[in-house]
Amino acid sequence: MKLLDGKLLAEKIRSEIAAEVKTKMLDQGINAPHLAAVLVGEDPASQSYVSNKEKACREVGFMSSVYRYPDNISEARLLEAVRFLNEDPEIDGFIVQLPLPKQIDPNHIIEAIRPSKDVDGFHPVNIGRMTLNLPAYLPATPNGIVTLLDRYAVETEGKHVVVLGRSNIVGTPISILLSRKGKPGNATVTLCHSFTKNMKDITLQADILIVAMGKMDFVTADMVKKDAVVIDVGMHRFEDPSAKNGFRWKGDVLFDEVSRKCSAITPVPGGVGPMTIVSLLQNTLKSAKKEIIW
């Protein structure tokens, strides 16, 4: 069994980005890319993600800002913050960390972000351009998965990819990216969700199983074909008094069982998560270099 170590790969890619920032920007007197994040509330997973983003920015020579708001913020006030970042010439790209409190419609917020600064790749313009295989900021987590498969030389052409979860953030875009022409790509993709019948029968056909259901330990060994490649997108914090910090992270896949049956698997933590942050950095660098003309 091969461990698809996203943490190790992300370190390598960050070093590549840092070298490019230094030689092609800073050494030529060009400002470093600036990535901002909007964080609403106290969700532990969101706070951890934004903290890791700040650390990654420092490592590659980016500037980083975080705008923090209480979870009772109104939608109108949050939209004001988005408009401010849209107009700030110092900001190359920014994200609004999801999930948002129930009083805020995330679609209203995402649609308010200027597509040229939408480094999360969630805006309908970026999603539409991605679907048509046009230059776009690809959604960070799906792009991170594609990069992981590419750098670890996991063949996707002609393979049956099964995706569990149809969110606009992960499931739907990764199904599009892996089914379109390209490398990685050219796969036959089945997209499953909570209404899928006989899901186990489908997962057992998967050469590559991508799990983004948002349910801890959802996939067990009896749901996985021998020698399949398993990508676990889940991230769940649970209390563990024996741990140094009093808690641990687990994914959507029961790792100890499934890892004994598959040919390759991502760990949690240290798999898809670091690759998501790397994708944000890559999109921000593209924005700073004006690689995509809008």
- Answer yes or no: 117 catalytic: no
Average pLDDT rounded to a whole number, residues 92-96 = 97
Catalytically annotated residue among 43, 92, 97, 232? 97
Q: Which two tokens stand for residue 111?
A: 């649609």
List strands edge to edge, sheet with 188-192.
2-3, 264-265, 229-232, 208-211, 160-164, 188-192
pLDDT band (50, 70, 90) for residue 294: low
Average pLDDT rounded to a whole number, residues 71-87 = 98
List pLDDT tens digits, range 226-274: 999 999 999 988 888 888 888 889 999 999 999 999 999 999 999 999 9
Asked if 155 and 108 sit in the same domain, the reply is: no
Number of domains in the chain: 2
Asked if 103 and 156 sit in the same domain, the reply is: no
Burial of 273 (0-12, 13-18, 19+ CB in 10 A): buried
List pLDDT tens digits, range 118-149: 999 999 999 999 999 999 999 999 999 999 99
- Which range of residues forms the domain containing residue 54? 29-114
Q: For Cα atoms 237, 240, 246, give the angle at the middle one, nearest 5 degrees.
A: 85
* Mean pLDDT, the chain, integer: 95
Catalytically annotated residue among 43, 92, 118, 120? 120
**Separation between Cα atoms, residue 237 and residue 250, nearest integer Å:** 7
- Answer yes or no: 227 catalytic: no
pLDDT band (50, 70, 90) for residue 150: very high
Asked if 36 and 145 sit in the same domain, the reply is: no
